[in-house]
Amino acid sequence: MDFTKKTVKDIDVRGKRVIVRTMLNVPIEDGKIDDTMRLQAAKPTIEYLLDQGARVVLISHHSDKDQSLEPVAAALADVLNHDVSFIPSVLSSDVERAVNALKPLDVLVLENLRFHPEEEQNDDAFARSLAAYGDIFVEDDFTACHRAHASLVGIPKYLPAVAGLGLELEVDTITKALEHPKKPLVAITGGAKVSTKIPILSFLLKKVDSVFVGGAMANTFLAALGKPVGKSLVEHDQIDLANKILEEAKAAGKTILLPVDVVVASELDPPTNVRTISVDDVGENDIIADVGPQTIGQLDELFNHEGTIIWNGPAGIFETDEFSGGTTALADKIISSGAYSLVGGGDTCDFVDNAGLHDKFNFVSTGGGASLELMSGNKLPGVEALLDKEA
């Protein structure tokens, strides 16, 4: 199914004051922004609005509730190669004046919405006050669409609300990959916590032909199969669920592939006594930190096709060199396969970005939690709040 919501191209924005909920939630170190992936993704919508002569008011949160968006506004100006003004408040008479003084092609960034607790509380009066700054609302922060916050679901009650081009691209790409994939559809999953990944795994199992489970998540499955896991991260309260998923997969005639060898250590920081061993030989003091080469070698059938590969979750503690081999090898295999590759989830995207591999995949989602929700078959409140295409 195509994207069902109206987009910024379905509405007349010429000369209008357009509030864009955009993604300025980027890592800031010593006041500097090195990773501009999200700002690049925000660009097409803003540029489209400028082409149309709109007056643009950008609003966003930063996960750090005390972090000003001022340095992000400056970085955005560089990315856009266009003047961007910043005002250090969200609701004030200064903002009102600045918004009323906007001319076509002006871009104004307001302060971090989370300076106000009302944002996360989805406070109606707060949403209504924000809505008063514009004539039209454009939702273009895919990364936040799983949050039912005032700027995402409150403002659309008061203004015509449509999707931005970045949001449309994300939702459309992920939905199509799951609903109409080029077959076979393979999922490579991993990451630390089974509890956050179980929904995605259950949903993906209905869609995919094969699944590989790596990362710490695999430990819980190995424990469910009665394998020794030593001092590895295992979610004991999820073992029954892991067993249920293994049974469901078996009943559906699908295989969940698990590691056959692992990289273990007796300490993670600094890495001590690092060895690669069979999953049957994990000692009681061992901590599983990555998958081994034999595991990767046995996954060839998952990569040797021209279908679709969805990758969500690293294979090990990739931030530590000694434990990054599995994740690097998975990335290489996916890149050199002939398949369409889609990467989602915060940690996996961090890995891909830090390794400079972003352009090697067909699509890398900007969203962590939001892409997980979508890949779990859930609706995103920030998308649901927008106008339907046929309305």
The nearer residue to ligand 3PG, 63 or 85, going by C-beta atoms, is 63
Q: Could you say which of 6, 13, 21, 25 contacts ligand 3PG (CB under 6 A)?
A: 25
Residue 67 CB, shortest distance to ligand 3PG, in Å, is: 11
Cis status of the peptide bond prior to 184, with omega within 30 of 0: yes
Q: Could you say which of 20, 42, 144, 161 contacts ligand 3PG (CB under 6 A)?
A: 144
Burial (CB < 10 A; 0-12, 13-18, 19+), residue 371, is: buried
Please report whether residue 151 would count as binding ligand 3PG according to CB under 6 A: no
The nearer residue to ligand 3PG, 24 or 130, going by C-beta atoms, is 24
Q: Could you say which of 27, 104, 368, 377 contacts ligand 3PG (CB under 6 A)?
A: 368
d(CA 208, CA 189): 12
Please report whether residue 58 would count as binding ligand 3PG according to CB under 6 A: no
Judged by CB under 6 A, the chain residues 99 through 128 that form the site for ligand 3PG are: none
Tokens of residue 253, six digits: 């005639």
Residue 203 CB, shortest distance to ligand 3PG, in Å, is: 19
Find the length of the chain.
391
Give the torsion sign (CA, 121, 127, 128, 133). Answer: positive
Q: Could you say which of 369, 376, 377, 384 contacts ligand 3PG (CB under 6 A)?
A: 369
d(CA 155, CA 159): 6
Please report whether residue 27 would count as binding ligand 3PG according to CB under 6 A: no
The nearer residue to ligand 3PG, 49 or 349, going by C-beta atoms, is 349
The nearer residue to ligand 3PG, 25 or 210, going by C-beta atoms, is 25
Stretch that binds ligand 3PG, among 40-48, 142-150, 264-272, 375-383 (CB under 6 A): 142-150
> Which residues sit opposite 161 in a β-bridge?
137
The nearer residue to ligand 3PG, 71 or 369, going by C-beta atoms, is 369
d(CA 8, CA 12): 8
Q: Could you say which of 63, 89, 195, 354 contacts ligand 3PG (CB under 6 A)?
A: 63
The angle subtended at Cα 144 by Cα 141 and Cα 150, nearest 5°, is 95
Helix 215-224, helix 239-251: angle, nearest 10: 80
The nearer residue to ligand 3PG, 115 or 212, going by C-beta atoms, is 115
Size of the site for ligand 3PG (CB under 6 A): 7
Residue 165 CB, shortest distance to ligand 3PG, in Å, is: 18
Q: What is the DSSP letter of 115?
A: G
Residue 325 CB, shortest distance to ligand 3PG, in Å, is: 27
Please report whether residue 199 would count as binding ligand 3PG according to CB under 6 A: no
Please report whether residue 143 would count as binding ligand 3PG according to CB under 6 A: yes
| Full DSSP string of 226-253 | T---TTS---GGGHHHHHHHHHHHHHTT
Q: Could you say which of 17, 21, 116, 147 contacts ligand 3PG (CB under 6 A)?
A: 147
Strand order in the sheet with 85-86: 85-86, 107-109, 55-59, 17-21, 136-139, 161-163
Stretch that binds ligand 3PG, among 13-21, 140-148, 226-234, 269-277 (CB under 6 A): 140-148
Residues marked active site are found at 38, 193, 346, 369
Alpha-helical runs (H) found in the chain: 37-51, 70-80, 93-100, 117-120, 124-131, 165-179, 194-207, 215-224, 239-251, 293-297, 300-303, 325-336, 346-354, 369-375, 381-384
d(CA 80, CA 40): 8
Can you give the binding site for ligand 3PG, defined by CB under 6 A? 25, 63, 143-144, 147, 368-369
